[in-house]
Structure 1
Amino acid sequence: MRLADLPTTDTLPKLLQRNAEESPADPGIREKTRGVWQTFSWLGYRNMTRDFALGLASLGFKRGDKLSVVGDNRPQLYAAQLSTQALGGMAVPVYQDSIASELVYVLNHAEVSIVVAEDQEQVDKVLSLKDQLPKLQKIIFDDPRGLWSYDDPLLMSFEAAMELGRAFGRDHPEHYTKELAAGKPADIAMIAYTSGTTGNPKGVMLSHGNMISSAECFAEVNPIKKGDNWLSYLPMAWVGDVAFSLGVALARKLTVNCPESPETVQRDLRELGPNCMLAPPRIWENMLTVMQVKSNDASPLKRRVFEHFRALAERCELKKTDGKLLTMSEKLGLLAGEFLVYGPVRDQLGLRNARWCYTGGAPLGPDTYRFFRSFGINLKQVYGATEASALIACQNDAEANPNTVGRPMPRIDVKIDDSGQVMLKGPNVFVGYFKQDDITRETLTDGWLKTGDAGFFDKDGHLVIIDRAKDVGKLSDGSVFAPQFIENKMKFSPFIREAVAFGHEKPKVVAMIAIDQQTVGAWAEKRGVPYTSYMDLSRKPEVAELIAEEIAKANASLPDIQQVKRYLLLNKELEADDAEMTRTRKVRRKFVAEKYAAVINAFYGGDRKVEVTMEITFEDGRKANLTTEIQIHDMGSAELARKAA
């Protein structure tokens, strides 16, 4: 089949076909296996997709059917989604760390008939649920290790499915061509499930037209070059990964690179040196924590050098943001810093070749943002939503700003309604929620999508996102209370992993803190503070004092009424398995407020201690209760203020 046989390149598989014809030998997608990068050319990528699609056809898969992929980022799993779409089906990626109840809900709600699983772990998970999945017909696995003795009739290897496809193709030589040509931009390409911050996730139906237009709009305002390396490490179920690893990669011929495992991402990132990168705030915060820890562990001389050039870089970055000129001494200092600090740090992070990097998915604290910008990393903000095919607004190189998310992308109209909610209209707006027409009608009004985010346009026409509209409240004196803004201030500390602030209709702001076990543990060991577990570490008085100092630093940049006055150290991390966070690491505020109602009452009742019973969910779905007494601490002492200063 030639591109000329197709009326247009208006679906994702047609873009793959175009790339295979125009650039057959160029690298399309890679994966690292046993320490070696294995490359599929665009032609090889297309052939794998075609053969697997024909294998699905031989199994009875037809237009409108759904196929789910579960596992880490792998070429075979991306090809499986494109194969599904080539046949007119819908891809349904799910989070690889989903617990049983989450997986059952999505697979049943989406009416999935075939699951493509990465390895034995994912196969075991799906097999354990097969009695609860009445529509499941086949489980196809990619990595056969550990599966040689399995004899369940549901199972089939990815290679066996492709062999079926090759045989089917010999008997039906025009089948793939006809199915591919029949695809239309209005066809549903995938059902992307939302993170479910307020309840069960919703199935967002995205068409080929939605995804391609989103990719093209983004490419118009960003310097993307053919063959740019893109590291595909974010969960395949997150729409941000889909937008780039499929949408932008196919539209602009990026080379997608899949790391060996989640544990080797940082090493693979440094080895690859990608040209562009997207990461949620948690990743950037982790990178910052690593650099802070390395600085603290360095010799006194190296630490002083690092802190000197870091302060210089951040000072110069602020002057650039304000449009002020740098002095000659500052310029010379930055040149020296590039040789001694900034260049080596970028190399350590694997960003030496990155022309642009984006943060998205949630707000990133301004301090963290400026740290990376000042070290020569072209970090910018992007704003989007699952219902908008991931992308709505972004910053260009000349307008990077930690306080905005940039301008709306081309052909996307954005407005603010009377309640302050951000609304948009454009070719990237989703088709609707799968099997939820009533919620679709509430979310889409005359083609305008209600994002649920509160925001406004600044004087330069840049979009500013305050918080989720439902989360923005007021303190009892009428002051605006935006919890994410306060939480991001605290999470700049390498010792604080998560923070949840409360204060709506209350006289003061209080916070629950989940410490970062790795950095706090290292801090404790250096000071001879013994501990046995996360719970034990969080109860140490020395740790409470450490966190008080970190909160005081955050308070120093906040108005008095918005400063955290009381805090508590949780005896466990906030976990997605316990429904406290989504799989994209967003706090499920309503659930957390209900679960920790006793804590909130104790905060505002002036109590010094509170008894907390927590329900813990294991990976297999079993639950257990943990009851413990937790200390509540007060802020505001003169000593803390002095240390913060």
Structure 2
Amino acid sequence: MKEHLYDMLMERAERFGSREVFRFKKTNSAEYGSISWTEVAGKVKAVSSALYTLGFRHGDNVGIFSDNKPEWTISDFGILGVRGVVVPFYATSSKQQLKYIVDETKMRLIFVGNQEQYEKALWLLDNTETVKTIVVYDSSVILNNDKCIAWDAFCELGSSNNNSGVLADIMKEAQSEDLATIIYTSGTTGEPKGVMLDHATFFYCFQIHDERLDVVESDMSACFLPLSHVFERTWTYFILYRGASNAYIDNPREIVKYLPVIKPTLMCTVPRFFEKTYEGIQLELSKWPTIKQNIFNWAIAVGHRRSEFLCKNQNIPTGLKFKYALANKLVLKKLRGVFGGNIKFMPCAGAAISPKLLRFFHAAGIFVNYGYGATETTATVSCFKEKTYDFDTCGSIMPGIQVKISDQGEILVKGSTVFKGYYNKPEVTQKSLIDGWYHTGDQGFITPSGNLVMQDRIKDLMKTSVGKYVSPQKIELLFGQDPFIEQVIAIGDNRKYVTALIVPSFEMLKKEVEKLGVATSDNKDLAANEIVNVFYTKRLEKIQEDFTPYEKVVKFKLLSEPFSIQNGLLTNTLKVRRNELIKLYSREIEEMYSA
């Protein structure tokens, strides 16, 4: 039977009708509005009709360059309604990143969100051969080019042209094997690669998530990770597949502000979200009087004890139940209120996360379902069932997915969620897909209980000049748990010892400098201050107590500027561009090895 995302949406819209499906923040307001299934279906049909009127047909690539909003998803399904292929861009993409993808995919039309994205898209009109039309979501954007059209006018173009008959015929010809999207990897090294995923791949993904996760029609998910990434995009599809609803947050920095407003039951997350949340909690805790801190720590300890029984699927002792009820009333319920108070679970992936953080949030009653996946595997390869949890792993392998470990320790994945190849890159595809097995480039192993552990990117493993292999991820993860460290990168490949570049948590540090007798509060001066450096040396010695001698960071350099997307040191998915960072700070690195 044919399985197509457009058909799926229309079937759900017919079934659920006037029920709310999307929530969104109103323009220039703190209030949230909503859209029904019927309204969404009508808009999707209008987009498909407008695209058809403009000459778009089966296999044509169409871009979306915007922050998260209902229009993003409506455009997504509208493109699929003409059997087109959706090519998303990260909302923070540079002009050159846009141009690379536009040139490779030959797209003729691009949907954009705000003024900044519009201006970058305008640049594409003059600097690419194919882009001819820009559709703009944000009504506040000033249009000054006849090749640009406002969202409402574009939808009206579709509604005024009665293409319903021909669009229905197009969908009759649609196949499960139709290419649905080309998702470009963020490119930590080298040029980005376009991952091709078809409709059948997504539907198999829905099926196996159905077997693993409890998502029901009454659920609401907070959509704040980039829809341009496979994680949030596939999750949004799954939410709609289950008949649940989505609340869009277009500014990720406002997530904590709006969670108590929308009160989601579900939310896709990345480790950085929990790291920042934990840092914020610890910073606030440090301001409390000792007695309140003791109550908080007692409540978390009770939560930890309860969590131990839950993870082993054992009955909780009566005495512990009473303690937990009190801990919940005094502390834990308020802690969950930070996330809106209704969270069932939060899928989390995209980078390594500290088991310490997972234990903390689990103790608070927040189930962080940490897993492993990739764009090339349509996101999830492994995750947890709610009742069983091992904080040191990425969960058990999804039903129907095969995973094996190569002789070199590389994680290999095979199954119906594995991608079809890289767009216009057959040679790269052949190196990554061998006999149906996707070579992830990640080092890992499978535990005796069947859980997957991802240790590090193979290309990131460091071999010191004395022949010892060191995992930078292990060092960076443990250092990152320190509340006084914001960001860190370990260095040591072909070097005689390991060093590190560290961005301090200046907010925490500035609270501490008075006790240290340091007068300055300037970031640059703090990073260079001798007393501050001694303070960090002592902290690192404590962190590294259990490290083997060759793993230990011998020297470090404090940096005054954080790694960011804007300075080119982070990808759009917040992964460190290791090579760029080493290049930028080559002088500082050489100084650590020259003495």
- Tell me which residue corresponds to 2:4: 11
* Contact kept in structure 1, 2:393 and 2:454, CA below 8 Å: yes
Task: Determine if the alignment matches structure 1 residue 335 to structure 2 residue 325.
Answer: yes
Alignment of 1:77-476 (within 5 A): 77-147=72-142, 150-169=143-162, 172-245=163-236, 247-259=237-249, 261-314=251-304, 317=307, 330-350=320-340, 352-475=341-464
Aligned 8 A contact 2:62 2:86 in 1: yes
Residue in structure 2 matched with residue 61 of structure 1 by the alignment: 56
The answer for unaligned runs of 5 or more in structure 2 is none
What letter is aligned with 2:347?
Y
Instruction: Tell me, yes or no, if the aligned pair for 2:256 and 2:338 is still in contact at 8 Å.
Output: no
Q: What CA deviation, in whole Å up to 9, does each residue of 1:496-530 have, x standing for no partner?
A: 22111123454433211112344434555898855
Shift of the alpha carbon at 1:478?
Answer: 5.3
What is the CA–CA distance in structure 2 between the aligned matches of 1:542 and 1:185, rounded to whole Å?
A: 63
Name 2:474's counterpart in structure 1. Answer: 485
Q: Secondary structure at the match of 1:486?
A: helix
Per the alignment, in what secondary structure is the counterpart of residue 371 of structure 2?
A: strand
Query: What letter corresponds to residue 215 of structure 2 in structure 1?
Result: I
SS in 1 for 2:268: strand
1:537 and 1:347 map into 2 onto residues whose CA distance is 35
Q: Which moved more, 1:453-462 or 1:394-403?
A: 394-403
Q: Which moved more, 1:254-263 or 1:541-550?
A: 541-550
Q: How many residues align?
A: 593
Residues 258-316 of structure 1 show CA distances to partners (whole Å, capped at 9, x for unaligned) of: 02533321121122221112211111101101110110122332222223333443465
CA apart distance, 1:356? 1.3
User: 1:175 deviation in Å?
Assistant: 2.0
Deviation at residue 576 of structure 1 after TM alignment: 2.6
Partner of 2:587: 598
Instruction: Determine whether 1:570 maps to 2:565.
Output: no
**Pairing 1:25–2:50 present:** no
Q: What is the alpha-carbon distance in structure 2 between the residues aligned to residue 110 and residue 59 of structure 1?
A: 18
Give me the whole-angstrom Cα distance separating, in 2, the residues matched to 1:219 and 1:531: 55
Looking at structure 1, the residues matched to 578 and 481 of structure 2 have their Cα atoms a distance apart, in angstroms, of 20
Q: Deviations over 1:368-419 (max 9, x none)?
A: 1111111111112111000111111111123222211112111111111111
Give the Cα–Cα distance (whole angstroms) in 2 for the partners of residues 104 and 468 of structure 1: 28
Aligned residue identity for 1:29: F
Cα distance in 2 for partners of 1:260, 1:456 equals: 37
> How far off is 1:181 after superposition?
2.5
Counterpart residue identity of residue 66, structure 1: N
Change (3 A) 1:401 1:213: same
Contact 1:508 1:565 in 2 (8 A): yes
Partner of 1:611: none
Question: Displacement, 1:592?
Answer: 2.8
Contact 2:392 2:453 in 1 (8 A): yes
Amino acid at match of 1:13: Y
AA aligned opposite 1:429: V
Deviates more, 1:258-267 or 1:482-491: 258-267
TM-score w.r.t. structure 1 length?
0.87
Unaligned runs of at least 5 residues, structure 1: 1-6, 607-645
| Contact 1:236 1:242 survives alignment (8 Å) | yes
Q: C-alpha separation between the residues in 2 aligned to 1:463 and 1:64?
A: 37
Secondary structure of the corresponding residue to residue 161 of structure 2: helix
Shift of the 590–173 alpha-carbon distance from structure 1 to 2, 3 Å rule, reads closer
Name 1:625's counterpart in structure 2: none
Identity of counterpart residues, as a percentage? 27
Following TM superposition, by how much is the alpha carbon of 1:332 offset from its aligned partner in structure 2, in angstroms? 3.9
Distance 2:475 2:313 in 1: 27
Is residue 2:527 matched to residue 1:538? yes
Task: Supply the distance in 2 between the matched residues of 1:525 and 1:29 (Cα, whole angstroms).
Answer: 49
Give, in angstroms, the shift of residue 32 of structure 1. 1.4
Cα deviation digits, residues 478-510 of structure 1 (max 9, x gap): 554111111111111233221111234544332
1:47 aligns with 2:46: no
What do residues 223-270 of structure 1 show as CA deviations (whole Å, max 9, x unaligned)?
A: 11113101111112111111111x212221220110253332112112
| Structure-1 residue corresponding to 2:505 | 516
- Cα distance between partner residues in 1 of 2:224 and 2:517: 37
What amino acid sits opposite 1:38 in the alignment? G
8 Å CA contact retained: 1:191, 1:205? yes
Q: Which amino acid aligns with 1:282?
A: R
Provide the TM-score with structure 2 as the length reference. 0.94
Q: CA deviation at 1:89?
A: 0.9
**Deviation per CA, 1:83-130, whole angstroms, max 9, x where unpaired?**
111111111111111222222222222222111111222111211342
For structure 1, which segment, 529-538 or 114-123, has the greater mean C-alpha deviation from structure 2 after superposition?
529-538
Contact 2:49/2:164 (<8 A) preserved? no
Is the CA contact (8 Å cut-off) linking 1:380 and 1:401 kept in structure 2?
A: no
